[in-house]
């Protein structure tokens, strides 16, 4: 019975669709509820208390809708609220920081890793703490970008100065690092532009997160054994049309079940 319940996936907006895309590929039979809190974006410039309160509200929504597990498809929310949410809710919850760190440690050759993220994620040092758990001999360089999330949410192509903004931030990171963690789930949407300014290996935590989710469901005996394709519903606290146009372009299919929720 519990196997047929939904998985809740949430982000401060459209960025979490990068995680959603990988979950749909790996677990096509699962029913999913995606919550895009674009009405309260960006999270990266809010206080820890504000982020935690927003996340608790979303968890309440998932519990009300009888979700069997939750993926925090947002680095900032993972850094600010994962520990608190796992203490307060009995539902299994995973974030994206551990998978991202794990992926970077696997591929780096020279043990020098760059992290591009929101100002909150950078100031929390969550990637430094997580990477240190895997190896104490890493050199880690971080850069916080306040502009990128809002620009991606509003439509990246609409900004003529977008490459200039990217170049400015990436130039502040280590030139010798061979690995770059995209420490915000919005950033894989603009990965092609990021590649113009970084030639090493780029880590998108999405694949690792989807695999961690599968392992969690397996361990908890919550994997959906149905052979049918699962349902997918979107709940958005901001502008639905804006979310739909960016999400459809990235996901590669039309979004049918999309609903508005209060921010």
Find the catalytic residue in 74, 126, 145, 149: 74
CA distances from 64 to 84, 88, 91, 235 (A): 19, 15, 12, 14
CB 2 within 8 A of CB 68: yes
User: Which residues lie closer than 8 Å to 182 by C-beta, 6 or more apart?
Assistant: 100, 116, 188, 191, 194, 202, 203, 204, 205
CB 187 within 8 A of CB 17: no
Find the catalytic residue in 55, 67, 149, 184: 184
CB 5 within 8 A of CB 190: no
Long-range pairs, 163-170, Cβ under 8 A, ≥24: 163/193, 163/196, 166/190, 166/193, 166/194, 166/196, 166/197, 167/197, 169/116, 169/143, 169/145, 170/116, 170/143, 170/194, 170/197, 170/198
Closest C-alpha to 121, from 170, 179, 184, 177: 184
Catalytic (active site) residue 74: yes
Residues noted as catalytic: 74, 184
């Amino acid at each position: 019975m519990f196997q047929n319940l939904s998985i809740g996936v949430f982000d401060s907006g459209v960025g979490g669709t990068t995680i959603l895309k990988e979950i749909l590929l790996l677990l096509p039979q699962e029913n999913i509820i995606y919550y895009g809190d674009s009405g309260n974006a960006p999270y990266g410039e809010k206080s820890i208390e504000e982020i935690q309160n927003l996340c608790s509200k979303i968890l309440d929504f998932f519990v009300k809708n009888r979700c069997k597990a939750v993926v925090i498809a947002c680095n900032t929310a993972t850094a600010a609220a994962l520990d608190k949410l796992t203490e307060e809710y009995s539902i299994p919850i995973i974030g994206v920081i551990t998978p991202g760190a794990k992926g970077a440690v696997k591929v780096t050759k020279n043990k020098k890793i760059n992290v591009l993220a929101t100002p909150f994620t950078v100031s929390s040092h969550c990637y430094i703490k997580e990477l240190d758990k895997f190896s104490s001999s890493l050199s880690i360089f971080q850069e916080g970008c306040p502009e990128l999330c809002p620009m991606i949410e509003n439509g990246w192509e609409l900004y003529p100065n977008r490459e200039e903004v990217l170049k400015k931030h990436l130039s502040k990171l280590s030139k010798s690092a061979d690995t770059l963690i995209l420490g915000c789930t919005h950033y894989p949407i603009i990965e092609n532009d990021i590649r113009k300014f970084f030639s090493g290996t780029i880590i998108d935590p999405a694949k690792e997160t989807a695999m961690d989710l599968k392992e969690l469901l397996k361990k908890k005996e919550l994997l959906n054994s149905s052979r049918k394709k699962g349902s997918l519903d979107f709940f958005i606290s901001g502008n639905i049309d804006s979310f739909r146009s960016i999400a459809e372009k990235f996901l590669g299919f039309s979004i049918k079940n999309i609903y508005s929720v209060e921010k």
